[in-house]
Structure 1
Amino acid sequence: MEAGLSKPEAALVAKIFFDKMADTLANGDRVEVRGFCSFFVKKHRAYTGRNPKTGKKVKIKSKKLPFFKFGSELKKRVDA
């Protein structure tokens, strides 16, 4: 399926899409592309880790990380 867009136009559409998606995730909201995938943010608590070089204990701050979960239609297409 062709949309009739030039490469620069398609690049602009992709940039707008990914910028909006990043802004949505930064606000803590979920992004879902039906049948393809969903993106969401997981919050991790602070914990004590170790520096692998020195073995010294290090405090790791709490953080939020983006996660990707593929949809059932994508699974089926890849497995076919």
Structure 2
Amino acid sequence: MIKSELIEAVAARNPHLYRQDAEKIVETILESIVEALERGERVEIRGFGAFQVRYRPSRAGRDPSNGNAVFVEEKWVPLFRPGKAISDRLNEPRRD
């Protein structure tokens, strides 16, 4: 699902909202999550999962095309851990 599909889903489930209002809602939620991650905070949405950032130190890596050693700079990476409800739903036996 892409962001525009998420906006359409929010608008479809809430017919009292205009599409542009649904777009503002989705944008506000996503921007709030990003801002919290920028501050180094953990974002937990109960029943869905948790977002956090994790530090990865610099290291020596390998270029897969030729095997030469390359330097990989330090960075902060986002991490998502699904909640139990999502994990349980994804691992239910399918009834095809």
TM-score, normalised to structure 2, is 0.72
The number of equivalent residue pairs is: 80
RMSD: 1.8
Taking the aligned partners of 1:72 and 1:57, their CA distance within structure 2 comes to 40
1:21 aligns with 2:36: no
Give identity over the alignment, percent.
Answer: 28
Structure 2 unaligned blocks of 5 or more: 1-12
Task: Give the TM-score, by structure 1 length.
Answer: 0.85
1:76 CA drift (Å): 2.6
- Stretches (4+) displaced over 3 A: none
The structure with the largest helix share of the pair is 2
Gaps of 5+ in 1: none
Comparing both structures, which one devotes a greater share of its residues to strand? 1
Provide closer, same or farther for how the CA distance between residues 12 and 54 of structure 1 changes in structure 2, counting only shifts above 3 A: same
- Sort the Cα spacing of 1:43 and 1:3 in 2 relative to 1 into closer, same or farther, 3 A: farther
